Amino acid sequence: MATPDDALHRPRLVALVGNPNTGKSSLFNLLTGLRQKVGNFPGVTVERRTGDLTLPDGQALQLLDLPGLYSLIARSPDEAVVTDVLLDEGHAMHPQAVVLVADASNLKRNLYLASQVLELGLPAVVALTLQDMAERYGIYTDTAALAQRLGVPVVAVNPRTGQGKEGLLAALATPLAPPPRQFLYADAEAYRRLLALAGQPAHKGQLAADTIARYKQLEAITAQVQSQRPSLRQSITQRLDKVLLHPLWGYATFLLVLFAVFQAVFALAAYPMDAIDAGVAWASEALQALLPDAWYTRLLTEGLVPGIGGILVFVPQIAILFTLIAILEDTGYMARVVFMSDKIMRRFGLSGRSVVPLFSGLACAVPAIMAARTIENRRERLLTILVTPFMSCSARLPVFTVLTALAVPEARVWGIFSLQGLVLMAMYLAGSFFALASAWVLKQFVPARGRTVFMLELPWFKAPRWQAVAMEAFVKSRTFVLDAGRVILVISLVLWFLASYGPGQAMDQAEARARTAATLNRATEAEVAAYAATARLEASYAGLLGHALEPAIRPLGFDWRIGISLIASFAAREVFVGTMATIHSIGQDFADEQTLIDRLRQARDPETGQPSYRPSVAFSLMVFYLLAMQCMSTFAIVRRETQSWAWASGQLVGMTALAWLCSWIVFVLLD
């Protein structure tokens, strides 16, 4: 409950309201810079961006960037948040004033929403954006006339150049009066009541009449304030669309873009990833040298530091992929991809809009699943969330790299393509295949509830706004670090405990036995230490769990060692590599993956004498890592986004069962 005292001290709250693609978010970035916070609206998973700014007169202001929408008649959770905030005066985020962002190149439709908000009686300023684009096509707007006609200040701004920023801030600094009542309703309360009942069929007729009458008024206003001069320029968008939406060239371009994005991600991310790996190893060693040999040192150097390293090492790939996706979205290209793929995706119970989450799933499923919020239809959104984790995320890559090296000879196909590279690519394709196929299967069982209308605006092509792109990539990467990272860190610590402690004296006894045996065999000191570490791990709680798991995974060709790695992979899949290194006594001198690959090649099954990691086992394991839901962060985010333990658990069980079945088939066929 806000006390009057609170109200005095709290800075004035101003909300940004506008259509999508009007430059609203860039305006928000321009005004607040890096002084912004991203959170959620209470009770719903709608992103809330707020930021602080100081007006020229020293007054502090809090700015709220509301989700873009076309109308106050809400149809999606995002839109409902906007109407809640604007209609409910008791709402914690109810603003004292609004900035109505309107696109000058499409003024009438932008004023439709603006006029609805003005009817609510909130003090307002209109920020007119994209005037440069409008003028290029011969549309000129008289801002003074528009201000006079609407009865509120109108400021032309260009978020790209920062032009108009001062004017907007100055307008916000002046005391703003409620706008004059000049649209359809005599008092704000009547309009508020109608909007609150908008969902009821009985009001449809009234709302339709409202819309027609409102557009008639807006037609008159735009005719008065805008002039259209003939422009000979053929729009760049139309010319680009001829190619990008072409039945052949359109899809070819898309595949090319996809390929280029992938190349860029892998080529660019390799350098910072190596640096992070080296940094983490250095930090662990430095701490080990600095601190006394005690349990807390091991907690730091074996649990916490590698845990944080395991999160950070993915940040480069994720940041680069999300930057590229943000560029594709910001230029307007992603909307074209949605347009071209909707019909294909619908066969599988998904929507064209599912392309963005599925594509993002190649980086990390956590922000990808959050990106499914833009899908209006409940079933299409749910299916997208359920199948996105099949897309091969960056945490699977190190696992696949090790396993392909084990299973596939280093050969070239037709002298150019590396066979291992082709197998790796096949894994990515298989992930996409399973995502679509399981969506199709789920579609048969999940009932379609309610009707929604698919409507997508194809924005005009424009150059990316680098600041907005950077902000978007930053926010998504931060989501990964905070949401997924937290879970990864906690599980890393739990796993460290499980691997470092065992029942009673079992671990010490096992170590002593291993040391004696190794010394008798005249092993070097390093080898003795490595065998001791393996013996300790086998006797630890994690080892016991691995042994306990063995009967369940034996049919897939996995032994208890792989069992331990599977358990460890619940923190993050790539933990597999490090765990396998410890289990196979690579210990201190675990320098690179090649050491591990060589060691795994030599490992023999003590009972059968067969190689433990023969191709059939490696392929079976790869399939398991591709299909199983081995990521607690994804589980947590699915729970949050679907608001249901049942869907999240169902996904966990279903994916893991599918993984077991497919691995079994692969193992039986190949072995």
Partner 1 sequence: MRTLVDLKPGETATVQHIADDELGLKLMEMGCLPGCQIRLNKVAPLGCPVCLQIDRSMLTIRRDAAAQVHIS
Give the rounded distance of the alpha carbon of 323 from its chain centre: 11
What lies within 8 Å, CB to CB, of 118 at 6+ separation is: 100, 124, 150, 152, 179, 183
Least Å distance, CB 206 to partner 1, is 10
Instruction: Give the integer Cα–Cα distance in Å for 317 and 264.
Output: 10
Least Å distance, CB 78 to partner 1, is 15
Give the rounded distance of the alpha carbon of 16 from its chain centre: 24
Interior angle at CA 334, CA 397 and CA 259, nearest 5? 40
Q: Is 669 in the site for partner 1 (CB under 8 A)?
A: no
**Selected range binding partner 1 among 70-78, 296-304, 322-330, 482-490, rule: CB under 8 A:** 70-78
User: What φ, ψ does residue 392 adopt, rounded to 5°?
Assistant: -70, 105
Q: Is 121 in the site for partner 1 (CB under 8 A)?
A: no
Q: Is 342 in the site for partner 1 (CB under 8 A)?
A: yes
**Selected range binding partner 1 among 101-109, 304-312, 543-551, 593-601, rule: CB under 8 A:** 101-109
Among 73, 257, 441, 632, binds partner 1 (CB under 8 A): 73
Instruction: Give the integer Cα–Cα distance in Å for 466 and 36.
Output: 17
- Closer of 235 and 467 to partner 1 (Cβ): 235
- Angle at which helices 632-642 and 645-670 pack, to 10 degrees? 140
User: In a 10 Å sphere around its CB, with 0-12 CB exposed, 13-18 middle and 19+ buried, how is residue 369 labelled?
Assistant: buried
Residues 249-288 that bind partner 1 (CB under 8 A): 250-251
- Closer of 137 and 266 to partner 1 (Cβ): 137
Residues 346-365 that bind partner 1 (CB under 8 A): 352
**Selected range binding partner 1 among 4-12, 31-39, 303-311, 331-339, rule: CB under 8 A:** 331-339
Query: What beta strand segments (E) does 104-254 contain?
Result: 124-129, 139-141, 154-156, 226-228
Instruction: Give the integer Cα–Cα distance in Å for 375 and 453.
Output: 10
Least Å distance, CB 233 to partner 1, is 14
Interior angle at CA 366, CA 364 and CA 369, nearest 5? 110
Least Å distance, CB 252 to partner 1, is 11
Specify the DSSP class assigned to residue 628: S
- Closer of 151 and 250 to partner 1 (Cβ): 250
Neighbours of 298 (CB within 10 A): 15
Interior angle at CA 296, CA 292 and CA 300, nearest 5? 100
Instruction: Give the integer Cα–Cα distance in Å for 449 and 533.
Output: 55
Among 65, 78, 79, 241, binds partner 1 (CB under 8 A): 241
| Interface with partner 1: number of residues (CB under 8 A) | 40
Instruction: Give the integer Cα–Cα distance in Å for 243 and 554.
Output: 53
Instruction: Give the integer Cα–Cα distance in Å for 97 and 125.
Output: 8
- Closer of 215 and 501 to partner 1 (Cβ): 215
Distances 467 to 128, 269, 461 between C-alpha atoms, Å: 20, 21, 17
Q: Is 664 in the site for partner 1 (CB under 8 A)?
A: no
Among 2, 344, 548, 657, binds partner 1 (CB under 8 A): 344
Distances 557 to 479, 610, 617 between C-alpha atoms, Å: 37, 11, 5
> What's the first-to-final CA gap in the chain, in angstroms?
67
Least Å distance, CB 458 to partner 1, is 4
Among 283, 446, 456, 670, binds partner 1 (CB under 8 A): 456
What lies within 8 Å, CB to CB, of 39 at 6+ separation is: 47, 48, 50
Least Å distance, CB 203 to partner 1, is 10
- Closer of 139 and 194 to partner 1 (Cβ): 139
- Closer of 108 and 298 to partner 1 (Cβ): 108
Q: Is 453 in the site for partner 1 (CB under 8 A)?
A: yes
- Closer of 11 and 250 to partner 1 (Cβ): 250
What lies within 8 Å, CB to CB, of 277 at 6+ separation is: 309, 313
Lookup: tokens for 341: 């793929």
Lookup: tokens for 457: 């605006």
Q: Is 457 in the site for partner 1 (CB under 8 A)?
A: yes
- Closer of 457 and 671 to partner 1 (Cβ): 457
Q: Is 230 in the site for partner 1 (CB under 8 A)?
A: no
**Selected range binding partner 1 among 25-33, 34-42, 71-79, 619-627, rule: CB under 8 A:** 71-79
User: What φ, ψ does residue 128 adopt, rounded to 5°?
Assistant: -90, 115
Q: Is 8 in the site for partner 1 (CB under 8 A)?
A: no
**Selected range binding partner 1 among 36-44, 189-197, 335-343, 652-660, rule: CB under 8 A:** 335-343
- Closer of 344 and 490 to partner 1 (Cβ): 344
Instruction: Give the integer Cα–Cα distance in Å for 368 and 380.
Output: 15
- Closer of 249 and 433 to partner 1 (Cβ): 249
Among 29, 36, 106, 253, binds partner 1 (CB under 8 A): 106
Tell me which residue of 390, 389, 400, 403 sits closest to 431, measured CA to CA.
390
- Closer of 349 and 557 to partner 1 (Cβ): 349
Among 229, 233, 343, 522, binds partner 1 (CB under 8 A): 343
Residues 165-224 that bind partner 1 (CB under 8 A): 201, 204, 207-208, 211-212, 215
What lies within 8 Å, CB to CB, of 606 at 6+ separation is: none
Tokens 């579609």 identify what position? 443
Least Å distance, CB 241 to partner 1, is 7
Among 91, 94, 109, 181, binds partner 1 (CB under 8 A): 109
Among 10, 35, 193, 246, binds partner 1 (CB under 8 A): 246
**Selected range binding partner 1 among 339-347, 625-633, 640-648, 655-663, rule: CB under 8 A:** 339-347
Among 105, 323, 360, 392, binds partner 1 (CB under 8 A): 105
Instruction: Give the integer Cα–Cα distance in Å for 372 and 641.
Output: 9
Instruction: Give the integer Cα–Cα distance in Å for 151 and 180.
Output: 6
Least Å distance, CB 86 to partner 1, is 16
- Residues interacting with partner 1, by CB under 8 A? 70-71, 73, 75, 105-106, 108-109, 112, 137, 139, 201, 204, 207-208, 211-212, 215, 241, 245-247, 250-251, 335, 338-340, 342-344, 352, 451, 453-459
